[in-house]
Amino acid sequence: MTGTSDLFIRRPVMTVLVMCSILLFGLIGYRHLAVSDLPNVDFPTIQVTANLPGANPDTMASTVATVLEKEFSTIAGLDSMSSVSTTGSTQITLQFSLERDIDAAAQDVQTAISLANRRLPDNMPSPPSFRRTNPASDPILFISLNSPSLPLSLLDQYGQTMGQRLSMISGVAQITLRGSQKYAVRVQLDPLAMQGFDLDADEVAAAIDRQNANQPMGQLSGPHTTLTLKASGELKKADQYRDIVVAVRGGRPIRLAEVATVIDSVENDKSGAWFFTPNSKAQTIVLAVEKQPGANTIEVAGAVKALLPKLSETLPASVKLAILRDGSVAITESALDIQFTLLLTLVLVVLVIFLFIRNLSATVIPSLSLPMSVIGTFAVMYLLDYSLNNMSLMALTLAVGFVVDDSIVVLENIVRHLEMGKSRMQAALDGAREVGFTIISMTLSLVAIFIPLLFLGGIMGRLFREFSVTIGAAVLVSGVISLTLVPMLCSRYLSEQHGRGHGRLYQLTESGYQLLARWYGNSLLVVLRYRRLTMAFSLAVLAATAYLFVVVPKGFIPSEDRGFIMVSTQSSQSASWISQVGHLMRLAAIVQKDPNVDRFMVNASSSSPFMLLVLKPRHERQLSADELILSLRPKLNSVPGIRAMLVNPLPINIGGRRSRSLYQLTLQGIDTDRLYATARTLERMMLDTPNLIDVSSDLQMDNPELMVEIDRNRALLLGVSPQQIEDTLYSAFGERDVSTIFGANDQYSVIVEFHPDFQNDASALDRLHVRSSQGPLVPLAAVATLRQGLGPLSINHSGQLPSVTLSFNVKPGVALGQALADLQQMTDSLLPTGVTASFQGNAQQFQAAQASMGWLLALSIVVIYIVLGILYESYIHPLTILTALPFAGFGALITLMLFRVDLSIYAFVGIIMLIGLVKKNGIMMIDFAIAAQAEGKSAVEAIHEACVIRFRPIMMTTMAALMAGIPIALGYGAGAESRQPLGLAVVGGLLFSQSLTLYVTPVFYLYMEKLRQGLGRNRGNGLEH
C-alpha cells in the first residue's frame, strides 16, 4: 500500500483524474437516489378477505377461517398466520419470511384458495380475495373527497375512478378507499304487507333475482349484415325495481313496491368517514395512496399531487379535494434537517482541523477528503439500490467525524517530517510510508466493526444493513483518499514550514498546546509508575460497565414526532353503530377545539373505528406529539361509553395483529373456556399494573345474541326445514345479496332486508313467516322459540389455534424492557397448562433485538480482534488496542442514564460504533511504540514517546468524531428524537474514554509486552507477538 502512495504522489494527473471519476459517479448516483424515511423493507404480507353477509362470527370462524387456514398452513415460507372473524367477514393475515418472494407467495395463496373453494359455504357472494400489503410501510398520502350536495355513493364512484387514474402513476402500488360508500339497491321488506299477500322473504328474493338478468343472447347473421341481440333484462336503479312483479295472487300481479321500500343506497350502511378542520365537518371518501417498495416517496407523492388539479377539473364543482395527510412532508423535513446536520458537521470538523493545524493549506487538504468520501459513497449506495433516508444520512453524518481521521493522521505525519527540514515531496513520501500500515489498520478494523450488524436478523437487520454498509463504504473511500489524494496534495501545495516563521495565530495557540502536551507527558510518566493502581481502576470500570449494561433501561425504537396521532376507540360490545358514531362525534368535538390539531379524519366502522389526527407544523404548535397525547388522553376518556387509546406510531410498523396499541401479547390454547378465562384474568391484572396504559383485549364474548332454537319435530310436522328457517332469517336480517348490477367500471349489489323499522328488537321475529312444503305460510313462532344470551363479537385465531391478543402501551417514563419483564413474570405465574403466551409485533422484535445485543457486541469485539491480529501478526497487541472499550461503554451507558434515555436499538448501534472509534487511538499509539522498540528503545520509552508524539492526531481525530456526534446528540430538527440516543452514546463514550485511555492503554501495553516477552522465552518465537 505504501508503494501505491508513492505512485499517486509521483503521478498527480492520474490522481486528479481518479478523484474526478469518483466525484462524477458519486454525483450521478446522488441524482438517482430515492428519498424515503427509512430503508426499503418489504415485509411480505398477504391479507385474505372472505365475506358471507349476515353470518355470525362462529359460523365465519368454523366454516370459512378454519377451512382456509388449513390450506394456507402448507405454503412454504409462512412465518405467521392470524385471522379475525366478525359478523359476515373473515380476514386472514399471512406473513412470510423476508426472503420469500411475494409474487410466488401470492401464487401459492391463490392455489390454496382454489383448493378450499369446494369446502366453503355455497352462498358466499364471491370467492375469497387477497391483496399484498406491507405492514412496514404506511400510505404516503390520504386524499379526502367530499361534497355538500352529492350522494356518497356517487362520491365513491368518483373516488374509484380517481384511484384508477392515480394507480397508473409510476411508483404507486395501490389505492384503497376508506369510508367507502359503494352504490347498492336496497330492498327493505315490509313483513306485514308480505303476510297480507301470502309472501315470504325467500320468494321475494328469488323473484328479484329472476327479474334482473344480463345474459348472452347471441346474434343474427344474414347474407349482408350481422345483428347482435340485446335485451332489456337488467335493472340498474331503484325506481326500475319498484314495478317488477314478485308474485301473482288471485290473478292480480303483486309489485315489489307493494311489499317493500326500494331505495338507491350503499352496500355497507354501517360504515362512514368524516373529514374535520377546526371550522368544518363533512362526510368524506378517503383515498389512501401506497407506494411500491423502493420507490422515491417524495417523487411519487409529488406526482400524485401534481395530477390532482387535473382530476379536480373532471369532478362536479361541488366536490372538494383536500390532502388529509401528506407523509412526504415529514420525510422531506427530516431529510433536510439531517442534511443540514451533515453540512454543520462538515463545518465543525474542518474548524477542528484548522484549530489544531492553524494553517490554511494544511486545513484545506484533509478537508477535501470529507466531500470526496461522502460523494463517493453515493455511488456505492446507488449501485446497491439504497436510498437517502434517516439511516443512511445518519450514517454519513457520523462518518464525517472519522472519515477525516485517516487524512488527519497522514497530514500530521507529513507536517512533522516537513518540520524536520525535508522538502514537500520527500516529506510526503516518507510521511505516507510511515503511517501507511496504520491507515490500513484503522480503516479495515473500523469497517470490520460493522460486519456483525449484517448478521442481525429480521426486519431490524434489514434496517441497519443499509446503515452499516453506508458507513463502511464511506470509511473505505476515505482510506483510499488518505493514501492517494492527501499525500499528493501535500507534496505540491503544503506550505513549507522549515526555515520560516509561523503566523501570529500559530504563535498564540501553539504555546498553549505545547504546555498541554508537556503536562500530558509528565502525568503519563506518573501513571506508568503506578501501574497496579491503574489496572485495578480499569478492572473496576470493566465491572461497572457490565453492571450498567444489565441495569440500564432498555428501549426499542425511540418515539418520533411525525406530525400525526392515531386514536383507536373501544365501545361497549352491545353498542349499535349509530351509538358508536355518536360517541365518536363527541370525541371529535374535543379534538376540534385543540389548537395543536390542523385537521383529522374519523373512520366509523363497525369493527375498528379510529381517528387520524394531523397536527400543525412543529413550529406552529406548542406541544410535541407525545405531549399532545398526554394532554388529550384524559379529555377523550372523560366521554362516557367509549375508551380512546392514543398512539404516536413508531417510524416503522413491525407486523403483528392490528391492534389499538403499540405492543401485543397473544395467548393461545385449544380449550377455549380455559383460554378465555385466563385472558380475562390477565387483562384485569394488566389494567392494575401501573407501568401499562391503554390495555385492551380483542376477546369480545359479551355481544348480546338472540338464539333461535328450532323445534325440529314441530317443524317436520308443519313441513318446514331448518334450512328454510335459516334462509328466511338470512333474507330478513342478513343484508342478503340477491342479485348483481353490472356497471361500466364495477359491479353493484341488490340487497334484501327487513325495513329498519322491523329490525329494532326481538319482536321483529314474530312477524317472520316461512313457506311450508304443504303450501301455507308458517309463523316462525310456531316452529322456534327465542332465547337471549351472550356470544362472540369476533373470534381470533393465531397459527390455526384460538387466540386472544392483549394490546397495551407503556406508561411514559417507563422502559419497555421493564414493562415486558413485569408482564413476563405475570404470565409465568398465571398461565395454566394448555395456554401459552408470546409477544407479537413490536414487542416480539424488541425481545429478539435484546437477545441478540450481547452476542452482537461480543462478535464485534471478536471480529476486531481477528482483524487486528492478522494485521499485526500478533495475539497480544490487539488486546492492548481493545483496552479502551470498557471505558467507552461505561461513558456511553452512564450518559444515557444521566439524560434518562433508554438503551434503544439506535443507542446500541452507537456503542458498536464506539468500538471502532476508540480503538483508533490505540492503533496510533501501538504502531509508533512497536516501531520505536524496533529501533532499540525500551518498552517504557517507546510507549511514552508514542503517546506524546501522537497526542496531537489523537486529539484531532477524537474532536472530529465528537463534532460529528454532538449535532445528533442535541436532538434538534424533524425526526431528531430517534437519532438522539445514538449521538448521546457516541459523545458520552468518546468523552469518557478519551480522558482515560490516554493513560490506561500505555499501562496495558507494558503489561502485554512483559507477557509477550515471557511467552517468547518459554515457547520460542511462535507466540512472540
Averaged pLDDT, 37-47: 79
pLDDT in tens, 99-142: 788 888 899 999 999 999 989 988 788 889 988 877 667 788 99
SS3 346: helix
Write the single-letter amino acid at 384.
Answer: L
pLDDT in tens, 375-401: 999 999 999 888 887 788 778 877 776
Question: How far is residue 840's CA from residue 843's CA, in Å, rounded to a whole number?
Answer: 6
State the CB neighbour count (10 A cutoff) for residue 454. 12
Question: How far is residue 300's CA from residue 28's CA, in Å, rounded to a whole number?
Answer: 20
pLDDT in tens, 170-199: 888 888 888 888 889 999 999 999 989 999
111 contact partners, CB below 8 Å, separation of at least 6: none
pLDDT surpasses 60 at 501: no
Count Cβ neighbours within 10 Å for each residue of 254-280 and write b for 16 or more, e otherwise: bebbbbbbbebbbbbbebbbbbbeeee
Residue 1016 confidence class, pLDDT cut points 50, 70, 90: low
802, 666 Cβ separation under 8 angstroms:
no
How confident is the model at residue 1, as a pLDDT? 45
How confident is the model at residue 1024, as a pLDDT? 45
Task: Using alpha carbons, select from 260, 206, 199, 259 the residue that is nearest to residue 771.
Answer: 199
Averaged pLDDT, 522-530: 88
Residue 1021 confidence class, pLDDT cut points 50, 70, 90: very low
pLDDT in tens, 273-286: 999 999 989 999 99
- Compute the CA torsion angle 819, 823, 824, 829 (nearest 10 deg): 150
751, 736 Cβ separation under 8 angstroms:
yes
State the CB neighbour count (10 A cutoff) for residue 446. 29
SS3 282: strand
How confident is the model at residue 969, as a pLDDT? 84
pLDDT surpasses 80 at 1018: no
CA-based radius of gyration for the chain: 36
Class of residue 53 by CB neighbours under 10 A (exposed 0-12, middle 13-18, buried 19+):
buried
Domain architecture of the chain: domains with CATH = 1-32+358-496 (1.20.1640.10), 44-133 (3.30.70.1430), 184-214+234-266+703-791 (3.30.2090.10), 505-551+873-1025 (1.20.1640.10), 564-702+795-846 (3.30.70.1440)
How confident is the model at residue 497, as a pLDDT? 55
Question: How far is residue 110's CA from residue 82's CA, in Å, rounded to a whole number?
Answer: 17
Averaged pLDDT, 429-433: 87
Reading phi first (left if > 0) and then psi (alpha if -120 to 50, else beta), residue 700 is in beta
Write the single-letter amino acid at 760.
Answer: N
How confident is the model at residue 590, as a pLDDT? 95
Which residue shows C-alpha cell 315490509? 190
How confident is the model at residue 498, as a pLDDT? 43
Residue 1022 confidence class, pLDDT cut points 50, 70, 90: very low
How confident is the model at residue 446, as a pLDDT? 81
Query: Between β-strands 226-228 and 610-615, what pairing exists: parallel, antiparallel or unpaired?
Result: unpaired
Averaged pLDDT, 304-323: 91
Query: Between β-strands 172-178 and 285-291, what pairing exists: parallel, antiparallel or unpaired?
Result: antiparallel
pLDDT in tens, 992-1005: 888 788 888 888 88
Q: What does the mean pLDDT of the chain come to?
A: 85
DSSP-derived letter for residue 537 is H
Give the 3-state secondary structure percentages of the chain, helix then strand then coil, rounded to 5: 55, 20, 25
Question: How far is residue 713's CA from residue 720's CA, in Å, rounded to a whole number?
Answer: 10
